[in-house]
Amino acid sequence: MNEDTIKLLKECNAGCKSATNSMEQVMPFIKEDHGLRDILKKFNDEHISIGDECHALLNEIREDEKDPHPAAKVFSWISTEMKLMMDSQPEHIAELLLDGCNMGIKSLSRYLNQYQKASEETRELTRKLIQCEQQFYKELLPYV
């Protein structure tokens, strides 16, 4: 497996982890059920499934997963906690998640363009994750 394939798989896997971490972090702040909890559950499951596909492909070639950078992870967690302690209305939660979707779509698209020699299977998996982020974004919009 070529280097571009490995790098793209690792980025895809790290993106899934970041997304699931964020969704699981905001879930306890959803006090009333406006359907937002169901959307988060659906897309969390989808991100876990795609992450599992990445993990399986990385295991096949005996490569380690890439975790989100620890400093970025801590900063994101603290920042999100502070924002949600000040305002945990569904609109605010949706806005935070929309920001994450935008970041994911942009990053994954950049990696897809950067690692052009990646296998078609890995490129398709990345496109699947981008489409998941785009659909998540669309389903969050009614909450802002």
At 30, list the tokens: 């959803």
pLDDT for 6 beyond 90: yes
Q: Percent of the chain, pLDDT > 90?
A: 75
CA distance 47 to 41: 10
pLDDT for 109 beyond 80: yes
Average pLDDT over residues 91-98: 93
pTM over the 0.85 mark: yes
CA distance 7 to 95: 30
Q: According to CATH, what is the number of the domain 3-143?
A: 1.20.1260.10
Tell me the pLDDT band of 68, cut-offs 50, 70 and 90: low
